[in-house]
Structure 1
Amino acid sequence: MFKNILVCLAFISVVACGAKPRVLLQEGELNLKPTLQHEIIAKEVVGILENYSYKKVSANDSISNIVFDNLIKTLDEGKNYFLQSDIDEFQKFRNNISQDMRNGDLSSAFYVFNRYNQRALQSLEYALTQVDVAHEFNNEETYVNYRDKLAWFSSEEELNDQWRKRVKFDLLNLKLTSPAGKDESEKHKETIKKRYNNLISQAKQTNSNDAFQLIMAAFTNAIDPHTTYYNPSFAQRFNEDMSNTLEGIGARLQMENEMVTIKEIIAGGPAFKDKTLKIDDRIIGVAQGNGEFEDIVGWRLDAAVAKIKGPKGTVVRLKVLPAGQDLSVQPTIIKLTREKIVIEEESAQKTIKTVKGEDGKSYKIGVITLPKFYIDFEAYRKRDPNYKSTTRDVKLILDTLKQEKVDAVVLDLRNNGGGSLQEAIELTGLFIEKGPVVQVKDTRNQIEVHRDEDSSVAWTGPFGVIINRYSASASEIFAGAIQDYGRGIILGSSSYGKGTVQSAVDMSRFISPTNKLRLRASGEEDPTTPNGAPQFGQINVTVAKFYRINGSSTQHKGVDPDIIFPTQFSAEKYGESSEPAALPWDQIKSTSYAQINDLSAIKKQLGSKHEARMKTSEEYKFLKEDIEEFNKAMNTTSKISLNEEALKKERDTNKLKNRNRLNKILELHNMPIWKEGEPQPKVEFDFILEESLNVMLDFINLKK
């Protein structure tokens, strides 16, 4: 039933859903309501998770408690909107939310969402009234931006005072950036007004699909942090992200002053080839083929994008106001044929680094940076011989590196949240001969061993893999297999610890013919649904756990490197072990495999050499200081002074500290120091990578 297997790390915003009886909105509140489609999908999602997911958790009162907390935390984690009286009122929904969802009842969830939107609009509109108020910048007052450790506001007066302070901080922040002796107060007021008006405009455009997306994420996150429902627009974006391709005109769009604005033109796409569209051009109308133009001024961005994007080979016409031109200018009509565009900047990339050894000899090390494990599922299923995939791209890079006669290869998987399980297996196969790569245990506790069946090896030389706390899932499968086979050295910090497998399922497979007829009869039509997107959205549901070939799960524990670097991201606050609903760690039998190398002795020698370098490394000292500062900031509630002199002094102190620190790094690398009044120099120095290259140089020599 589940075909598209995914193993990817997703950081999803979560919110909660509601309780019986159906709640009537109070007068004055935004009256967003769930649609019939939302109610049908909610029932089906609950059924899928109760019957098909790996955990099969019942939607009971204990789950409702978690969903309720997800709701409050996601909507207002910083405690900048809700009052204590709101939280007290919502308690009546706490114990029944998940049961209500099983029946398709979303009324109380929407009630909470509407109250949040009401408070947000109320706060933003109050903030606007404070922009022209005379603020005193020489009295002693502080502002707390992130109030998660503080109590909820006890009254609207207290809430308003928080937003008064926020406006005061915004104005003071801009004032401190003005040239000395120049009064730009009116300019700053206009900047702040524009900022808050944009936020108000966005809040007013919030629709029931936005609420429903968050509500469903609240429920799925209570069951499992990696099971997620995506509405049609989100589903299409997720699938494009997985394939590293998209179909459209090849431009990144942003909403500015109620108009869709071109912010980037993607190389190789239709807009790039046509050369007519420019950065900051504004699209005010869209027509499909030779059809009539639709005016899209004031539309939500996702609704406008749904009209502009579309299947390759189709034609779209755009009515465009050129950048910098007045609104009264005659619009330009641009005709483009949509294409499939490959997003190259998110694909595997290579660099070659030269490292000098103690013997004075220079060594070349190829570095492959891999942001994610991607595959174009659609092209693969259609047997397109040129389908886009991680393994194919890395294979070409390795062929190039061999021609360049590099001495070693390093694969950088830092911040790689995973992706396709198939690609994790096939990529491992580039570095080993035939053999098992990962074990997968399904909902029936049956274990399947996934193997590399291709005996060819693309790289046989010294190999290293860099990971960190945000290397997850498919990254962990790959790193774990390389470590178990003794095929290379793992460097960095412990990985995320996501050992679960998700399957992407089109929700239309679960919607009965009767319900489809009901929906058709209701006349519902979602204007934000892009062409080709799944009509009812998609659920990525956890259906299995994966295990290393040595039998150990990476769930919670992750992969521990051979050469360990310190990190500010602790297991208690970051990664799978910090997720309340995460599956536990366990272990199964090891599968039969032949280790390629026993690197245990070499790893000890590499560790000793690495530690010796760290004792005298200034960069290592800076790294540890950064971690200490980060942890200190994360464990305290930061109070910002609203006294101009005090805040300026604090910023000047920090600026001097940063300059002195940067100059030490510049001196270490024989670069000109940064002087007062000069623009800050751009320093591209990656200590973790540089030291990893030193470790690889040791590895090369020890292997000899």
Structure 2
Amino acid sequence: MRRFFLVVALLVVSGIAAAKPVADSGMPLVLKPTADQAEAAMWAMRFLSRFHYKPVPLDDAMSEKIFDGFLDSLDGDHLFFTQADIDTFASVRDKLDDAVFERDLSAPFAIFALYQQRVAERLDFSRTLLSKPFDFSKQESYEYDREKAPWAKNSAELDDLWRKRVKNDWLRLKLANKPAKDIRETLDKRYSNYLDRVRQLNSEDVFQTFMNAYATAIEPHTNYLSPRASENFDIAMRLSLEGIGAVLQRLDEYTAIREIIPGGPAAKSGKLNPGDRIVGVGQGADGPIVDVIGWRLDDVVDKIRGAKGTVVRLEVLPDAAGPDGKHEMLTLTRNKVSVEEQAAKKSVIDVKNGDSTRRIGVITLPTFYQDFDARRRGDEDYKSATRDVERLLGELKDEKVDGVVVDLRNNGGGSLDEATDLTGLFIDKGPVVQIRDASGRVEEKSDRRAGAAWTGPLAVLVNRASASASEIFAAAIQDYGRGVIIGEPTFGKGTVQNLLNMDDMARNEKPTFGDLKMTVQQFFRINGGSTQLRGVTPEISFPLTAASDEFGESSYDNALPWTSIQKADYQPVADLKPVIPMLIARHEARTAKDPEWKGFEEDIVEAKRIRAEKTISLNEQVRIKERDEQEAKRKSREALAGGAFPNQDPAAKTREELLKDTGKAPQLNTASAGVNASGDDDSAAAVTLEDDGLQADERSIAKDLAREEQRKARRDIILNEAAQVLSDEIDLIRSNTKLAAQILPHEAAANVD
């Protein structure tokens, strides 16, 4: 889903001046490439074609792949361009390599200019449709998933597609009992905002999109990061920043406060609240206030960013005030802020089993983070996922837990060193992962610290979105026989990327060329196999992702193939094979008679069916019947589950969730790092709140946060079942010392009572 949220607590020292947004005066300014961008493309070409793990020359064949990727980034759903438009640019299809070599990027910018024009035409057409009534008694359908659909033959065909698109938007609001007047105003504003966002895209956005089309044409995990995107990537890795400590959201033409981060300057002031709108920003104690109404979100972010100890002044329109309400002035001193949302967290689940209760500790780790700069500086207190988890394990020990589940669902990876060090918390010493470079040289990453932070029963919970560093950790735990892996096969990303700062290489004094996140190595399990394409296969399988065939490494056409190397010299610490069949039998027997679980499995089947349809009826009575049936199922599920939900499918969306994408303008990869999840949670396989027909930025902040809290309040039946499985293992080993000696490390087995 395309996002419009930015964690701006994300307010770090900025080397980029905020770009002034395009004025709303008809057609946008025609964007042109800069000399610096042409030079940056040349630097990127030199590295990508020589030092990538799979170096590919920039030639006519690569040009064709870049061309297709660039079009897909602009119009992936085939909603704006016609086949005639594509034919217009056919002559440059195999000339984009020449564009880079000749330092002339006018061709991709010309394609983007036509894209902006087509967006304006489509949105203007859509707004004219709002003055006419729709006939919802007709039997017709709307194709909402057009990723693989052919380009429209002509404008007339696009007109009909957009007529159905607008009709569907109207029907969704009508089914949510909105009056016609409100529907017309909502959709007119939606389409106007869409157009504004496309008009606000700048030269840096276009260049980054073109360069990413080039990078990902080589291999899926190679990317180009503009200076701004690189900065946000750094924030995401170190989980800290210097700023005011607030999460911002675009709300109509305003930048609004969505969340206040505890402990930051905004929270300590006590004067900013969710829903407040920032209308002006000033630098220092007496710098002029710059009006930021209508600005891009990341441009406002750049204005608010600043170094620790510096002053920023905000002109704020309070949430309770109308558009003409009294503005308030707020002066804040920027400071270091910790972004704890992505930090490791702990909890305890009490699992009742007959007369006994097992206390299962849970470590939830969203990413393998590390503050690289602080570590390089020798800062002994640098932020680290492993350090945080080690501390949490100590706290869980004090709370007398019987076992630990490490929850890596939706953890897309991060630091390779952190994956190695984290594994070391659960084993004594030994190799963790093998790494092979482009020359074929293999090295080992090993845990060299004696002892383990946790030697007791262990489980690792994964899903399809557990990738990269998550797979290194899960694979090592599995190969050592250290813990049981639960969930579904992981993503299958078996490659290592390095971040190459092209400004350092070019000796630029200020950020100009950006960074390359370039694949330079492939990692292998210590058993010699690879996680590439195949991922890590759990011993206890849960059906979690309704769209697993459309998500993961195997969904990329140009993914590296699976291969293997020699196994490392290591000794498994235990053998889980004897206990796995018993755990599976208990799991199946328990879930077979559990209405929560049976409902969850039915939800997965239903989600798969909906995804396969790709169209939706535009007949009101048909939709009412479908809605009522879905709502009855949902209420029945929730009544049985007591608020449980099948958490966290990163790819599977219900049909209504897929439709929430409509009317959103693309960001063209802009500021991709640091984008916060929107209020519309598309992660649950088939359980959603009642559809209100609105986009996240069309609701009040208060209502959107309330919907988010409703989701968070639901019980996570997947995690609970993982805890049950680990509790089963504990019961089995505590009743059988011989079994305990097989499946636990020696130290832990010796302590079994």
**Structure 1 length normalisation: TM-score?**
0.87
1:291-311 Cα offsets, whole Å, 9 max, x none, are 333232332222221110122
What is residue 91 of structure 1 aligned with on the other side? 90
Helix, strand or coil: the match of 1:639? strand
- Is 1:352 aligned with 2:348? yes
**Segment of structure 1 superposing worse, 65-74 or 443-452:** 65-74
Q: Matches of 2:89 and 2:50 in 1, distance apart?
A: 29
- Is 1:308 aligned with 2:338? no
Q: Offset of 1:620 from its aligned partner?
A: 3.8
What is residue 147 of structure 1 aligned with on the other side? 146
The answer on whether the counterparts of 1:248 and 1:309 sit within 8 Å (CA) in structure 2 is yes
Q: Matches of 1:393 and 1:666 in 2, distance apart?
A: 33
Alignment gaps of 5+ in structure 2: 1-25, 646-689, 691-705, 735-753
Q: Offset of 1:204 from its aligned partner?
A: 1.5
1:492 paired residue among 487, 494, 498: 487
Alignment gaps of 5+ in structure 1: 1-26, 517-532, 670-675
Q: Offset of 1:607 from its aligned partner?
A: 2.5
Letter in 2 for 1:422: D
Q: Which runs of structure 2 are paired with 1:129-140 in the superposition (5 Å)?
A: 129-140=128-139
2:629 paired residue among 653, 673, 694: 653
Helix, strand or coil: the match of 1:367? strand
- Is 1:703 aligned with 2:703? no
Letter in 2 for 1:539: L
Q: Matches of 1:151 and 1:508 in 2, distance apart?
A: 41
Helix, strand or coil: the match of 1:542? strand
What is residue 282 of structure 1 aligned with on the other side? 277
- Is 1:548 aligned with 2:525? yes
Q: Matches of 1:91 and 1:584 in 2, distance apart?
A: 31
**Segment of structure 1 superposing worse, 123-132 or 258-267:** 258-267
Helix, strand or coil: the match of 1:635? helix
1:436 paired residue among 431, 434, 445: 431
What is residue 600 of structure 1 aligned with on the other side? 577
- Is 1:367 aligned with 2:362? yes
2:194 paired residue among 199, 204, 221: 199
The answer on whether the counterparts of 1:568 and 1:630 sit within 8 Å (CA) in structure 2 is no
1:167-212 Cα offsets, whole Å, 9 max, x none, are 2222222222227xxxx22122111111111112112212111111
What is residue 662 of structure 2 aligned with on the other side? none
Helix, strand or coil: the match of 2:715? coil
Q: Matches of 2:462 and 2:644 in 1, distance apart?
A: 26
- Is 1:559 aligned with 2:536? yes
Q: Matches of 1:492 and 1:426 in 2, distance apart?
A: 23
1:296 paired residue among 279, 292, 295: 292
- Is 1:692 aligned with 2:751? no
Q: Is the alpha carbon distance of 1:151 and 1:579 closer, same or farther for their aligned partners in structure 2, counting shifts above 3 Å?
A: closer
Q: Matches of 1:604 and 1:141 in 2, distance apart?
A: 51
- Is 1:426 aligned with 2:417? no
Q: Offset of 1:113 from its aligned partner?
A: 1.7
- Is 1:416 aligned with 2:416? no
- Is 1:105 aligned with 2:104? yes
Q: Offset of 1:465 from its aligned partner?
A: 0.4
Q: Matches of 1:289 and 1:690 in 2, distance apart?
A: 51
1:639-691 Cα offsets, whole Å, 9 max, x none, are 322x333322222222223223333334999xxxxxx9xx9987723332222
Q: Which runs of structure 2 are paired with 1:325-340 in the superposition (5 Å)?
A: 325-329=321-325, 331-340=327-336
What is residue 45 of structure 2 aligned with on the other side? 46
Q: Matches of 1:278 and 1:690 in 2, distance apart?
A: 35
The answer on whether the counterparts of 1:32 and 1:208 sit within 8 Å (CA) in structure 2 is yes
Q: Is the alpha carbon distance of 1:28 and 1:459 closer, same or farther for their aligned partners in structure 2, counting shifts above 3 Å?
A: closer
Give the CA RMSD over aligned residues: 2.4
What is residue 574 of structure 1 aligned with on the other side? 551
What is residue 16 of structure 1 aligned with on the other side? none
The answer on whether the counterparts of 1:571 and 1:578 sit within 8 Å (CA) in structure 2 is no
What is residue 173 of structure 2 aligned with on the other side? 174
Q: Matches of 2:52 and 2:313 in 1, distance apart?
A: 44
**Structure 2 length normalisation: TM-score?**
0.82
Q: Matches of 1:104 and 1:435 in 2, distance apart?
A: 50
1:259 paired residue among 238, 254, 265: 254
Letter in 1 for 2:477: I
Q: Matches of 2:643 and 2:524 in 1, distance apart?
A: 47
The answer on whether the counterparts of 2:66 and 2:213 sit within 8 Å (CA) in structure 1 is yes
Helix, strand or coil: the match of 1:600? coil
The answer on whether the counterparts of 2:459 and 2:726 sit within 8 Å (CA) in structure 1 is yes
Helix, strand or coil: the match of 1:601? coil
Q: Offset of 1:613 from its aligned partner?
A: 3.1
The answer on whether the counterparts of 2:547 and 2:608 sit within 8 Å (CA) in structure 1 is no
What is residue 82 of structure 1 aligned with on the other side? 81
Q: Which runs of structure 2 are paired with 1:620-699 in the superposition (5 Å)?
A: 620-641=597-618, 643-666=619-642, 684-699=714-729
1:9-65 Cα offsets, whole Å, 9 max, x none, are xxxxxxxxxxxxxxxxxx989622111111111111111101111111111222222
Q: Matches of 1:459 and 1:351 in 2, distance apart?
A: 16
The answer on whether the counterparts of 1:408 and 1:700 sit within 8 Å (CA) in structure 2 is yes
1:51-83 Cα offsets, whole Å, 9 max, x none, are 111111111222222222212222222221111
Q: Which runs of structure 2 are paired with 1:316-327 in the superposition (5 Å)?
A: 316-327=312-323
What is residue 522 of structure 1 aligned with on the other side? none
What is residue 12 of structure 2 aligned with on the other side? none
What is residue 525 of structure 1 aligned with on the other side? none
Letter in 2 for 1:299: W
Residues paired across the two proteins, number: 646
Q: Offset of 1:485 from its aligned partner?
A: 1.0
The answer on whether the counterparts of 1:429 and 1:454 sit within 8 Å (CA) in structure 2 is yes
Q: Matches of 1:140 and 1:112 in 2, distance apart?
A: 37
Letter in 2 for 1:342: S
